[in-house]
A = this chain, B = another copy of it.
C-alpha cells in the first residue's frame, strides 16, 4: 500500500465460479466414490476425456441453444480452430465412441464424473462450472440397456441411504410421437410444433395444466410480461396431448393399457408402449417394484435428442423452499435413449442410452437428509509452548501420524497460546496436546479434549460429563495410547 501507483490484482473467484473447501470436497468425493462402486458393479468402465473439445466435435446440442458458440466458453487455437470447454459429458462420449469405434468393446458401458462448463448468466446456486456424473451404454439397441440404467440408478439411491425417498420414472418418446400423430402433428413440416409441445409438457410441474394448455394453444405470457409462442393446437388436439400427460394409472399394466388407447393406430406409438412393457417386465424380474421404479407418461425430458425411453429420478421427501413453503425435493437425475449423437460423426446408426446425475443437487439432498458419509474431523493439534523444542513437538506429531492418527504441530507464531487454541477450534480439532517446560521435565504431556470441552461449554450442568475430565496429564510415553482413547478409538 506504500506506493499508490501499484495496481494489485484482485483476489476474486471469477464471476459465476466458486471454490470448494475441505468438507465440501470430502463429502462430494465420498458420494461419487459410492456411486462409482455401483457403476463398476454394473460393468461400467471409467472414461476421462479432456476438458477441452473442438467446437466442431461438441456440436450444438446444448439445450435451448441454437448457435454453435452460445453457452460455451470458446477460443481459437494457434491454427484458428475453435476450441471450447465441454458443456456436458455426453457430447465427449459421442466423440469418443466415434473416434475409437474399432477398438472399444461393443456395447461400450462407460461412466464419467467431472466438471462441465456453461457460459450462462450466473444466478443464486447457478454456477458456470459444476459436476456431472454420467453412465451410458453405447451400441445396444435393446431396451434391456435402458432398463439396466434405471435399475442402476435405483441402486445408487439405495446405496446412498435414500431408500424409500426416491422414485425413478420411465416414459417413452415414441409413445409421445404416437400421440402427436393422433393429434395430427406428424410430418417434417410440424417439427417446430412438436418441439413446442415437448417443451411445454416438460414444464408441467412449474406451469401447471393451465400454463401448459396455453403453450399448446396460442401461447403464454409469463409474470414478467414476456410472451412465449404456442404450438397453435386446437382444443381437440390439446386434449389428446394433455390426455397423454395424465395417463398414469395405479399399475404399470393399467398405464400401458391407457397409453394403447391414446396412441390408437399409430405404429410408432404402439412400438413405444411395447418398449415400456418390456422394460417393466425386465425390471420386475430383477425385483424392482413400483415403490422404486414406475411408468409415468408425465416425464418427457426437454432435450430434443431423445429417441425412445426417457427416465427421471425424483426425490420424494419434502424440504422448505426459500420462502419457507414445503415442496418436494424433485428431480436429481435424468436421461434416456439418444440414437443420433454418434451418427453425427460417422453417418452410421449407433444406438445409445444413458443417465446424468446432478451432483450438486444430489449432495444437497444427502445433506438435507443427514446421509452424508464423510469424516470431517480435524487433526489432533500439538501446541508449541517452547519454540526451541520444535523437534520434540514434531516427534510427537510423527508418532501420532505413524499410528494413523491425523495430527499436526502448530506452525504459526507460537507466542500467543490463546491463538493456538483458537486455531485448533477453527480446525475442528478433537484433541490438543500441550507440553510446557514443567511437563517436559516431568516426562508428561497434557491432553485437552476439545470436543468434550465444547459440550461442557454449551451446558456446564450436564450430568453425563461430570465424571469425564476435559483435560488429563499422561506420561509422554503413553501419548499415542492416551490420544487414541480420548478419540474413542
Contact = CB atoms under 8 A, between A and B. Distances in A.
Contacts of A408: 42-43, 109, 148
Contacts of A128: 50, 52
Interface stretch (A324-332, A390-398, A440-448): A390-398
A423 B17 contact: no
Contact of A47 (B25, B46, B117, B412): B25
Contacts of A96: 11, 19
A115 B51 contact: yes
Contacts of A66: none
Copies in the complex: 2
Contacts of A285: 391-392, 394-395, 398
Interface in A131-163: 137, 139-142, 144-145, 147-148, 151, 155
A208 interface: no
Interface in A226-265: none
A54 B10 contact: yes
A139 B14 contact: no
Query: Which of A52, A73, A147, A392 has its CB near the most chain B CB atoms (within 10 A)?
Result: A52
Query: Which of A57, A391, A413 has its CB near the most chain B CB atoms (within 10 A)?
Result: A391
Interface residues of A, number: 101
B8 A344 contact: yes
Query: Which of A2, A12, A50 has its CB near the most chain B CB atoms (within 10 A)?
Result: A50
B20 A48 contact: yes
Contacts of A407: 41-43
B56 A286 contact: no
Contacts of A13: 49-50, 95, 99
Given A12-B99, A148-B394, 19 more contacts: A9-B54, A11-B345, A12-B54, A13-B99, A14-B52, A19-B96, A21-B45, A42-B401, A43-B407, A51-B51, A52-B129, A106-B423, A107-B412, A140-B412, A144-B394, A144-B409, A148-B409, A282-B390, A286-B394
Q: Which 5 A-B pairs have the closest CB atoms?
A: A43-B408, A11-B98, A43-B379, A286-B398, A17-B50
